[in-house]
Structure formats: structure tokens, C-alpha cells
Structure 1
Amino acid sequence: MRTRPDAAVLRAFGVGAHRPERLAGGRGLTWRAGPVVLRPHDGVVTDWRSGVLADLTGSPAYRVPRPVATLDGGWRAGPWEAWEAVAGRVDERRVGEVLAAGRAFQDAVRHVPRPAFLDVLDDPWSVADRIAWGERAAPTEPALDRLVAAFRPVDAPSRLVHGDLLGNVLFADGAAPAVIDWPPYWRPAGVGAAIAVADAVCWHDLPVAEALALDTGDVAWRQLLVRALVFRIATAVLLGGWDAAQAARHAPLVRAVTEDGTD
């Protein structure tokens, strides 16, 4: 899938006259062809997500790219899906604005019922999500052992959340932030914010004290950070990418949310 979309795929999405160019980010798997961005599809998740976002109304608080259908009306061509290209760049330093855009987006989809496919997904991210909520046993890893021991109940209803906000909110002058590449999860609303904040601490130098003090409006904020860390660490372990360097990056926040107590 690191090869570019072929001519048949481009014709299927109505952009056959454009030469695709690889985009930064997206694990090297995302391409732009004229007004369209193409990325590997997620099967039934692509069909569901495209259907939801095709009907989503706009908001001054956020933008979303519209899914692009094939000429025969489907959402997939070969191994690809397509989306409207939107202006903007990622800025992981603008954590508060990322959280605000994510909150507005999640509020806009709060009426959407839980999709049944969440029960059968078995990729590392889905398994790590279940580990973070005590539905699967965690792999053997000291940081995970420490975090799982800190689990406390989270008394908040589940709803659709965006599980990877920090690197998937685009900023452009004169436009609302654009929320892209939505990985859906069914968890308490604050989980999306907690994952974004954990990412900001571990990878983009947000001070731990600021992360703990953020007023997200969510109950059990520290406990949500515990779950976010389990999700990220378990994913890295399952993908075979967890190493000493990653452990060092995560250690300050792991210590903070376990030593100082949990909500």
C-alpha cells in the first residue's frame, strides 16, 4: 500500500486527469490527486464513516472533509477511499484548540448509535482500546502493570469519540479547524481529549502539570489520562514498537497519574 493509487482508482473517483502526490503524515499511505485525498480504506468502517460524515451539517467550530463517492456511487475503489482535500496544517502545540474542535465534532455526532462493527474489529488499536477499559488482559510490561493497578471506575456514559485528535486537526487562517481521519471508538466523551493530551505530553513537550490541570469539563480527568496511556502503550507493544526510548517519553506522565492518585 505504499504504491500510488493506479489509473483505474483515479478514474473511479473522477480524478483521472490528476497525478497523485504523496502527502506528509498518514504513515506515508496518503495521496492527493487534485481536489481529492486518497488513503487505504478500512472496509466496513469506511462505509459507515463516509455515510455519517456525508450527512453531517457544518459548524463554525469545526470543519470536516466530505467523503468522495466513486462514479458508481460507492465509497471504495480497489483498496482506496477518497475525501475532499481541505486546507490546513497540523499544529500539536495548539492543544486547547484541538480539544475544542474535537469536542464540537463529537457533540455533532452524539446522536449516532454505536456501530456494530466495533465488536469484531481485531486490529492492535481496537485490542488496545479494550485493554484500556479492562475488557482484555494487558500485555506484560511494567508501565502497563502500574497503570492497570491504578484503574478506577469512570462514571460517564459512552458515545462516539475521535481516538486520535492531536495529529488530525488542521488549522488554516480564516477557517474553523478541520477534523480529519476519524478512528471511531465508543467510550466516555473525554477519552478523545485525554488521548490528545497524553500525546502532547509524551511527544510534543506539553508540561505534565498543564496536562493534569486542564479543565476539560470531564469527570475523572486523571483516570481518563490513565486509560489514554494504557491505550497508547498497549498499541505500541502490540505493534512491536515499544522500546526504552518510548518508555522514557511516557514515564513522567505515567508517574504523575499513578503516584498522585486517581479521580
Structure 2
Amino acid sequence: MNGLAMFDPVLLSTFVEVARAGSFSEAGRRLGLSQSTVSEQVRRLERLAERRLFVRDTHRVALTADGDAMVRFARTILDVNEHARRYFAGSAKRQRLRLGASENFVRSRLPSVLHDFLSRTSDVDLELTVGLSDSLFDLLDAGELDMVLGKRRPGEARGQLIRRERMVWIGTHGTVVRPETPIPLVMYPPPSMSRAMAIEALEKAGLAWRIVCTCDGLMGLQAATLGGFGVMVQPQSMIPAGLIELPPSPMLPDLGDVEFVVASATRHPRGATAELTEVLLRH
């Protein structure tokens, strides 16, 4: 057999049907082919394999030892071929959605949003990037994301408004902020919006502060705050488990509001991007 020869799936399919039917004429009937066409296709496969695959006489068709081996190989090849066909046929119809989301949204509302989204469309492969809003907007501008669920300050124009929410100081039941010491802050690294809002509020109030813990993940910030390192800042509805909104205090000035928005890479989103945007605006 030529080392570069390939077994044609059409020939293999005909061969398997003959082996199953035990007859060239019956195989032809099942395949909608003439007996002569079935015979010719089997002969072509035998020439490719350089092996005799059937013992033929006037009464029956029986597999040779090589024919028995070929049945096993043929079924494997045909199964793989069918799986590949189905995979690529399905992939051609599926959409890819590159979604960026701020971590506090991911840990709070995103699961229910995605559940509602998938109930409306199931032909989407999701690529989820979690990060700080400003970093996500940079990726959106660079064409590396299709849409972003992030935050903006009131008055900024970027994205469609989902909702507005108050930012709050967060700590534990035992958190005490002492006026004689700088306020200990547990913060994301720049360009975190919550970090900037906290520092701006403290500077405006003339209060001393220092960063005692920096982490780019909310779980790390939560752990440090639970451990008593300091206080952190989050939207009011997204306070991590085990932490509380700290009561009003002259040492903890008002932080103002933040707006949650959805922004897409195009002015008029289509397909999965438009579908998820609609879900978010209704959620």
C-alpha cells in the first residue's frame, strides 16, 4: 500500500454496510446504490489496502481476517469523521463573546445575568476577563474585548447606565478607626476607581491615610480586611461576606456614588453582545 494513501470514508462506509448486511445486493439496497457500484467500491478499498477483505461465493459474503480488522478500523475512522463534521458544523453557527467584567460584579450579579442570558441564547462561547474597570475599558478600546461590565463616575459618558449605587466604607464589627493614626486602607492597585475615590475623599477632608494592603483580587482584600489590617471600599450592595458597612464617622467621609455601565466595542452591537446588553438593562 502506498504510504501516502488515505482510506476514503465513502469506501469505508460501503464496506462496513456490506459486512453488516452480509450481501452486496442488500448493502446496495440500504445505501441506494447498485450492486455493481457497491462491488466496485469494495474492490477499490481492497486495492488501497492491498488485502482481500471478503471471501465471496454464490451463496454468501464473509470477512477475511484482514476484513475483520478493517471493520474495526473503518468504524473508528467513520466515528471520528462524524464527530469532526458535527463539531465544525456546530462551530460555524456558534458565536464568541469576549466579555470583561469588574470583579465585584462577577462575585455578585453576573451569575444570575448569565443564567438569564443563556435562557435566551445557547449558541455562545464565552471568554470572560475579570479586572479593574479602567483596565477593561483599555482592552475594549484595543479591540481585545467585545463588551465590558464596569463602573464609571457620575457625569462620565462612557457606556449605558445599568444602575447607580453608593460607595461605602467596609470593615468588621471590631473595626476601630482612631483619629490619632492614619486611616489604614486595604485597596486595589491603580487604576482602581474605588482606590481613587477613597483617597480623594480623605484628602478633601484633610485626613491622614496610608495603604496597608494592596491586592488585585477581591478575595485578597476581603481576607486582609477580615484579618483586621484596615478598611476597604465597595459599592453598598456588594459587601463581601463577613464584612459590614461601617457607620458614619468624621474619620470616614462620604465617598459619593458610582455608576455601573455596559459598554460595547461598536456603537450598534449585534448578536450575542446585543442580547447580553438587553438582559443587563432589564436585570
TM-score normalised by structure 1 residue count = 0.23
TM-score by length of 2: 0.22
Q: Which entry has the higher C-alpha Rg, 1 or 2? A: 2
Bigger strand fraction = 2
